[in-house]
Amino acid sequence: DAKTTQPTSMDCAEGRAANLPCNHSTISGNEYVYWYRQIHSQGPQYIIHGLKNNETNEMASLIITEDRKSSTLILPHATLRDTAVYYCIVRVLHGATNKLIFGTGTLLAVQP
């Protein structure tokens, strides 16, 4: 699976949009971009995933660049409960060895 690069930490004001970047310059054509988050002392929570088109769900939006070498997760109106470590992961969709390998992630701190 391709490796990803994320900033170690970011701050965001409550109520503002949080934009979390991720670089995945070695992504393969059949690899998807996944985002998970982990609130302190809990298991990771799935947020969103996409291949090449932008995606939106009730939690967030995922913007993938045209060359697919980077993406941005957008939380439109961050709240204090969005404070967590956000992980960007790239992997293939199918296959018996379809593993999620976590990097170091971005610690997002939402400030009141």
Partner 1 sequence: GAVVSQHPSRVICKSGTSVKIECRSLDFQATTMFWYRQFPKQSLMLMATSNEGSKATYEQGVEKDKFLINHASLTLSTLTVTSAHPEDSSFYICSARVEGAGEAFFGQGTRLTVV
Q: How many CA atoms lie within 13 A of 6 on its CB side?
A: 27
Residues in contact with partner 1, total (CB under 8 A)?
24
Q: Answer yes or no whether residue 7 interacts with partner 1 by CB under 8 A.
A: no
For partner 1, the binding residue among 3, 11, 30, 46 (CB under 8 A) is: 46
Q: Which residue, among 104, 22, 20, 18, has the nearest Cα to 68 in the 3D structure?
A: 22
Near partner 1 in 72-111, by CB under 8 A: 87, 93-94, 96-105
Q: Which SS3 state, helix, strand or coil, does residue 108 take?
A: strand
- Tokens linked to 70: 């980077």
Residues that bind partner 1 (CB under 8 A): 32, 34, 36, 38, 41-46, 49, 87, 93-94, 96-105
